[in-house]
Amino acid sequence: MKKILLMGNPNVGKSAVFARLTGARVISSNYPGTTVAFTQGMTVIGREKAVLIDVPGAYDLEPSSQAERVAVDMLREGDIVVDVIDASNLERNLALTLRLLEQDTPVVVALNMWDDAAHKGITIDAGRLEAALGVPVVPTVAISGEGIKNLASRIPEARAPRHAARSESERWAEIGRIVGDVQSLSHRHHTFLEMLGDASVKPPTGIPIAVLVLIASFGIVRTIGEGLIRFILDPLFEGLWKPLMFRLSALLEPGTLGHGIVIGKLVDGDIDFVQSFGLLTTGLYVPLGMVLPYILSFYIVMGVLEDFGYLPRLAVLLDKLMHRMGLHGWAIIPSLLGLGCNVPGILATRILETRRERFIAATLISIGIPCAALQAMIWGLLGRHGGRYVLLVYAVLFLVWAALGRLLNGVLRGRSPELIMEIPPYRLPALRALAQKVWMRMTAFLKEAVPIVLLGVLVVNLLYFTGLFDRLAAWSAPLMTRVLGLPEEAVVAMAVGFLRKDVAVGMLGAMNLTAGQMTVAVTVLAMFFPCIATFVVLWKELGWADLGKSILIMLASSLVAGAVLNAFLT
């Protein structure tokens, strides 16, 4: 089976071309011996199946980063290269193209973002470019699918003209000759999106835009999430699921172990989907009825920002701030992903160049970035006491995130590399591609979240039944009561937080805590020991030694923040 490599500079639309040629069923993995991820899937070329590999973006075949080294290694393994070019930046992209044409691997060129080039007044004669390069050239607009069918039909025509090796000066002279021959420019006025794109990276205008984007994003997430809960999910659970649970409750007999595990306890003779804590009540309602709506709305908003092209501009805008924390601007992307779930956020730290950066970013995400599931519970339970308490939690998390980043930057040896990246033009997202991305992320969340929540509910019930939680509460009573100002039984929620933090916050809601106590408990829980899924990913990404250091930092910072917050509120 042939291996077809998608190669090109970063931000030229390779992933969109890949999605068009393969669909949604893909496999993501690390290249052996590295933390650089690549994606592969199956496609059909002619009548034959082939493996399509989305190679990490590269500017040259003389690697200056780990991603480019992986791209060069993968080139040796491929049978055909599809070189994806940004048609609106032909001169820059041809530098890699000419290097590829000096190799032995057959090449076909996808002249992508054809629509963006036209919008900028750029006209390219694809036939002349094909004659100059000696390989097939196909104009495409991967976002809309234009030209993708023609590209697939011409991949078998890929050729290896084996251009003579040139020096760098000779290569750029050849690029200048080709561009002068095939490309023409015409005057045009900047569009609104182009002016908005320029304003988004300049601090005087970019910072207000960033604040508005973040406020609007959280507003949209909360509005959609609360609407889905109020008008769809709560009526379904109350009107359809609860009557079934009452019938099952009568069969299992309240007060028995089986009833406690499956249905949970009855609250004033009623089933409370938050407090009953049974597998089929709380175990299903928390991930599906409380968390899923906010996760769905978050991934929709994040997908729009990704496809629109805003996130790279945010990285440039915040680069100076992130450098003070031992990172560079691109680290804001894993942090934003962590707002959906810490697991993909920590996995995304692989885009950072040094181990030092990955350690700082992963630790800060685990401590200061609450996942969407946890945020849903914070808004749902703490929000009942007033929005000022919710804002206080976010303010403390942000201050700890910033202060701890500065501290780690000063303590850990090394430096952060400069931010060098291409910024794609703003473009309206394609609904089909957006829906596909959201669907893949939602199914991944459900596969990971529901089993862990059910396991957490089961473990809690068993620990209650054996009396172990009572012993743990007694042992930690001085810490809970004197330092954090919480009741002894709050240790139960802290322990459950290792399995699932949103479930743990749900348990706090059943303890009749004051607004101040709930604020302290939620803040400590958000910063405390990571949930089991995050713990496993941290171990895989950092190794045992750095994982131990990261956990010690989490424990110390959460206890200090909790103690200070308790003193402030009381």
Q: What is the average per-residue pLDDT within 365-372?
A: 87
Tokens of 101: 């044409």
| Residues 562, 239: Cα–Cα separation, whole Å | 40
Which pLDDT band holds residue 28 (cuts at 50, 70, 90)? low
Which pLDDT band holds residue 552 (cuts at 50, 70, 90)? very high
> At residue 422, does pLDDT exceed 70?
no
Q: Which of 182, 180, 178, 166 is nearest to 94 (CA)?
A: 178
Q: What pLDDT is stored for residue 165 in this prediction? A: 80
Each residue of 474-528: pLDDT tens digit? 777 777 777 888 877 777 777 777 666 777 777 777 677 888 888 888 898 888 8
> At residue 382, does pLDDT exceed 90?
no
Which pLDDT band holds residue 419 (cuts at 50, 70, 90)? low
Q: What pLDDT is stored for residue 417 in this prediction? A: 60
Cα→Cα distances 510→276, 460, 487, 507, 517, Å = 9, 14, 12, 5, 13
> At residue 291, does pLDDT exceed 60?
yes
Q: What pLDDT is stored for residue 36 in this prediction? A: 67
Q: Identify which has the larger pLDDT, 217 or 330.
A: 217
Q: What pLDDT is stored for residue 26 in this prediction? A: 58
**Mean pLDDT over the full length of the chain:** 83
- SS3 state at 107: strand
Which pLDDT band holds residue 6 (cuts at 50, 70, 90)? very high
> What are the domain boundaries of the chain?
2-188, 203-569
- Least confidently predicted of 203-212, 437-446, 461-470: 461-470
> At residue 85, does pLDDT exceed 90?
yes
DSSP letter for each residue of 385-407: G-HHHHHHHHHHHHHHHHHHHHH
Q: Identify which has the larger pLDDT, 413 or 174.
A: 174
Q: CATH classification of 2-188 is 3.30.70.890, yes or no?
A: no
Q: Identify which has the larger pLDDT, 32 or 304.
A: 304
Q: What is the average per-residue pLDDT within 241-245?
A: 92
Which pLDDT band holds residue 289 (cuts at 50, 70, 90)? confident
- SS3 state at 264: strand
Q: What is the CA radius of gyration of the chain?
A: 27
Of all residues in the chain, the percent with pLDDT exceeding 70 is 92
- SS3 state at 269: coil
Q: Which residues pair with 146 in a beta bridge?
A: 141
- Least confidently predicted of 259-263, 311-315, 468-472: 468-472
Q: What is the pTM of this model?
A: 0.62
